[in-house]
């Protein structure tokens, strides 16, 4: 960030190709410096979103009871203590030449800053909710101008994120990041176990009645520590078991193993899990709205990725405007820490709002051309054409309307986990079988997971029950009943869609593609899924070409180049 304006942001996983990669983000820092045209020695401030001294008393209390947890934390703290040294070693400069001031920003304050300071709002209520960070899981407050004020927080071990992760594990999804799958599964069930789930997460009347408590007998993390290991550099983190045997007794059976079939019982439990999350989350938001009297709310933390719950904010709370920046999870802490220092510590005025998500690497026409030439694709029966934008969009829209699957690679890579029209796979939303085709040919993911629609922003109200913008795919709305049959592929089983609203301003070429599709079909919507196949989203044109060939897509658009199977 230079003088308050975001210049570049990328997650290490896109560059080192390891999903959710742990460790020092050397490649991401190199990319950001290169994009800003700066050397490490020219940086004035380095902000790290972790404060080892936050909630020290709570930490010590639990550390005494959990020696293994304390050891694990100590290892991580040592890593964080040496940021200056790690930078110096990574960039081959003498540590004394780094003139930057180093700042530590507490985890949830960085989350709140990442949501508010890049939002379009002058004033807003703020809520951060996740698994755990700096020994807290939830924090709320108010943002006004270049200042934010923290009102309260909920400390370890009570956590909506760990609640969701624990039940996600019980349902047979053990991997880091699997909560998203269970949110999709929830739509297939009935929330018939609300009584049980209201005991697993309880409203808490302490501290003004704004919080919640976990029924700790159903969890293990307060005894053993949440065994989330980020210690292995360059690897995906792993999560230890979070739920106790008592949870199985409460929910009527042992945990499902990952390879066991999904029964209706599991779907009903997923529905109950999600419904209870919504009760607590929306309840907290209602109280926040009543206390702050704000019309707008900014959300961050892993729980803020629950687009199904977010979509209900308009109907079930007094908030009229919602902002969730595209990297609402821990990836977004980096920009949050930077903006916290800029405004809250240095007192600089606001001068930036995040209107799009395209802050990652981009590749020139020459680099794309070279990647195509180096690939054997030209000798394997594909036609390659370089086209002006209008023709490129029109022809690509025609290919999509013919039921073909198109890889769409343009400009700068998206910030955050969603593909938003620059590293996307695009397909025809009108075909009911498109979901299965995509799953069997390309994505290889669970059939119960929905695909998302991208819609021209000016058409949202005609197709969805809400018209508030959702530029970063962080809100799900009901598709209007009369439109559901027209876009069956990205309409979930419960009639909702996790939509991206596309404006001409934010992404002119993607907007033009969807507009061309509308001109050809009358439908201002395309199905949009991330450009990858069980790997981090593609970043470089070479990775797009590889994924394209591996996955048997029908056409690939790389910048101005259209690559299509002949015949």
CB of 363 to Fe ion, least distance (A): 31
CB of 426 to Fe ion, least distance (A): 31
Q: Are strands 45-48 and 101-104 parallel, antiparallel or unpaired?
A: parallel
Residue 563 pairs in a beta bridge with 384, 556
Q: Which is nearer to Fe ion, 137 or 272 (CB)?
A: 137
Interface with Fe ion in residues 310-339 (CB under 5 A): 330
Q: How far is the CB of 111 from Fe ion (least distance, A)?
A: 6
> How many whole angstroms separate alpha carbon 463 and alpha carbon 480?
5
Nearer to Fe ion, 129 or 502 (CB): 129
In the complex, least distance from residue 201 CB atom to Fe ion, rounded to whole angstroms: 18
Compute the least distance from the CB of residue 129 to Fe ion, in Å: 9
Nearer CB in complex with Fe ion: 133/490: 133
- CA nearest to 65, candidates 127, 128, 157, 195: 157
Contact predicate 88/31, CB 8 Å? no
Q: Which helix (H) or strand (E) holds 397?
A: helix 389-401
Nearer to Fe ion among residue 13 and residue 330 (C-beta): 330
Letter string b/e over residues 260-284, b meaning 16 or more CB atoms within 10 A of that residue's CB: eebeebbbbbbbbbbbbbbbbbbbb
The stretch among 93-101, 130-138, 185-193, 545-553 that binds Fe ion (CB under 5 A) is 130-138
Sheet holding 296-300, edge to edge: 147-155, 136-144, 123-133, 296-300, 321-323
> Which of 182, 304 has the CB closer to Fe ion?
304
At how many degrees (to 10) do helices 83-91 and 26-36 cross? 70
Contact 446, 436 (CB under 8 A): no
Residues 200-239 binding Fe ion (CB under 5 A) are: none
Dist. CA 474–CA 303, nearest whole Å? 11
Give, as one character, the DSSP assignment of residue 495.
S
Q: What are 239's two structure tokens?
A: 């999560």
Nearer to Fe ion, 107 or 498 (CB): 107
Shortest distance (Å) from residue 330 CB to Fe ion: 4
Structure token pair of residue 438: 């995509």
What's the closest the beta carbon of residue 51 comes to Fe ion, in angstroms?
A: 13
Instruction: Return the number of the residue (137 or 169) whose C-beta is nearest Fe ion.
Output: 137
Q: Using the rule CB under 5 A, is 421 a contact of Fe ion? A: no
DSSP 23-43: S--HHHHHHHHHHHT--GGG-
Is position 130 an interface residue for Fe ion (rule: CB under 5 A)?
yes
The nearer residue to Fe ion, 115 or 547, going by C-beta atoms, is 115
Angle subtended by helix axes 160-170 and 179-186, to nearest 10: 80
For the CB of residue 301, give the shortest distance to Fe ion in the complex, in Å.
5
CB of 334 to Fe ion, least distance (A): 12
* Angle formed at CA 224 by CA 220 and CA 226, multiple of 5 degrees: 75
475-478 and 496-502 strand pairing: antiparallel
Min dist. Cβ of residue 60 to Fe ion (A):
22
* Backbone dihedral angles phi then psi of residue 522, each to the nearest 5 degrees: 85, 0
Instruction: Give which of 419, 12, 428, 66 is closest to 237, Cα–Cα.
Output: 12
Residues in the chain: 567
Identity of the residue, 279 or 330, whose beta carbon is nearer to Fe ion in the bound complex: 330
Considering only residues 133, 215, 225, 429, which one is a binding residue for Fe ion as defined by CB under 5 A? 133
SS3 state at 185: helix
Q: Which residue is nearest to Fe ion (CB)?
A: 130
* Nearer of residues 339 and 510 to Fe ion, judged by Cβ: 339
Question: 349: exposed, middle or buried (C-beta count within 10 Å: 0-12, 13-18, 19+)?
Answer: exposed
Q: Which is nearer to Fe ion, 76 or 459 (CB)?
A: 76
Stretch that binds Fe ion, among 72-80, 129-137, 231-239, 538-546 (CB under 5 A): 129-137
**Would you count residue 184 as binding Fe ion (CB under 5 A)?**
no
> Least Å distance between CB 387 and Fe ion?
43
With CB under 5 A as the rule, give the number of residues binding Fe ion: 3
Q: Which residues bind Fe ion (CB under 5 A)?
A: 130, 133, 330
């Amino acid at each position: 960030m230079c003088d308050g304006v975001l210049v570049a942001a990328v997650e290490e996983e896109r560059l080192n190709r390891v999903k959710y990669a742990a460790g020092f983000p050397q490649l991401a820092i190199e990319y950001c410096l290169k994009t800003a045209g700066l050397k490490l020695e020219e940086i004035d401030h380095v902000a790290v979103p972790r404060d080892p001294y936050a909630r020290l008393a709570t930490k010590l209390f639990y550390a005494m009871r959990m020696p293994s947890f304390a050891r694990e934390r100590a290892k991580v703290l040592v890593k964080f203590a040496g940021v200056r040294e790690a930078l110096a070693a990574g960039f081959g400069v003498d540590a004394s030449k780094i003139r930057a001031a180093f700042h530590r920003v507490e985890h949830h304050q960085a989350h709140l800053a990442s949501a508010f300071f890049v939002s379009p709002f002058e004033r807003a209520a703020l809520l951060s909710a996740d698994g755990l960070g700096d020994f807290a899981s939830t924090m709320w407050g108010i943002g006004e101008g270049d200042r934010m004020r923290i009102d309260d927080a909920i400390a370890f071990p009570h956590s909506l994120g760990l609640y969701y992760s624990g039940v996600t594990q019980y349902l047979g999804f053990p991997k880091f990041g699997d909560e998203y799958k269970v949110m999709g599964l929830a739509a297939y069930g009935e929330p018939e176990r609300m009584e049980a789930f209201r005991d697993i997460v309880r409203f808490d009347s302490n501290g003004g009645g704004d919080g919640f408590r976990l029924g700790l007998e159903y969890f293990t993390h307060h005894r053993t520590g949440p065994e989330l290991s980020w210690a292995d550099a360059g690897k995906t983190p792993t999560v230890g078991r979070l739920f106790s045997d008592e949870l199985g007794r409460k929910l009527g059976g042992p945990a499902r193993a990952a390879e066991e079939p999904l029964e209706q019982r599991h779907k009903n439990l997923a529905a109950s899990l999600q419904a209870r999350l919504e009760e607590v989350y929306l309840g907290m938001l209602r109280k926040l709205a009543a206390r702050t009297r704000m019309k707008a709310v900014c959300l961050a933390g892993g729980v803020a990725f629950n687009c199904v719950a977010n979509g209900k904010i308009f109907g079930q709370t007094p908030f009229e405007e919602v902002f969730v920046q595209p990297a609402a999870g821990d990836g977004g802490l980096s920009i949050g820490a930077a903006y916290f220092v800029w405004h809250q510590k240095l007192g600089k005025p606001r001068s930036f709002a995040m209107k799009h998500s395209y802050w990652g690497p981009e590749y020139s026409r020459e680099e794309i051309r070279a990647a195509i030439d180096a690939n054997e694709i030209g000798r394997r029966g594909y036609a390659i054409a370089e086209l002006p934008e209008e023709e490129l969009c029109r022809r690509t829209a025609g290919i999509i309307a013919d039921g073909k699957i198109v890889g769409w690679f343009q400009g700068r890579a998206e910030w955050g986990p969603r593909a938003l029209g620059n590293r996307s796979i695009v397909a025809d939303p009108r075909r009911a079988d498109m979901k299965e085709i995509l799953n069997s040919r390309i994505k290889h993911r669970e059939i119960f997971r929905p695909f998302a629609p991208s819609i021209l922003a000016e058409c949202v109200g005609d197709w969805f029950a809400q018209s508030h913008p959702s530029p970063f795919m962080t809100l799900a709305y009901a598709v209007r009943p009369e439109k559901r049959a027209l876009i069956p592929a990205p309409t979930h089983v419960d009639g909702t869609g996790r939509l991206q609203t596309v404006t001409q301003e934010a992404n002119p070429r993607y907007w033009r593609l969807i507009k061309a599709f509308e001109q050809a079909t009358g439908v201002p919507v395309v199905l949009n899924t991330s450009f990858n196949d069980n790997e981090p989203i593609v970043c470089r044109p070479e990775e797009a070409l590889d994924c394209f060939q591996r996955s048997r897509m029908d056409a690939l658009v790389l910048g101005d180049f259209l690559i299509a199977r002949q015949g």
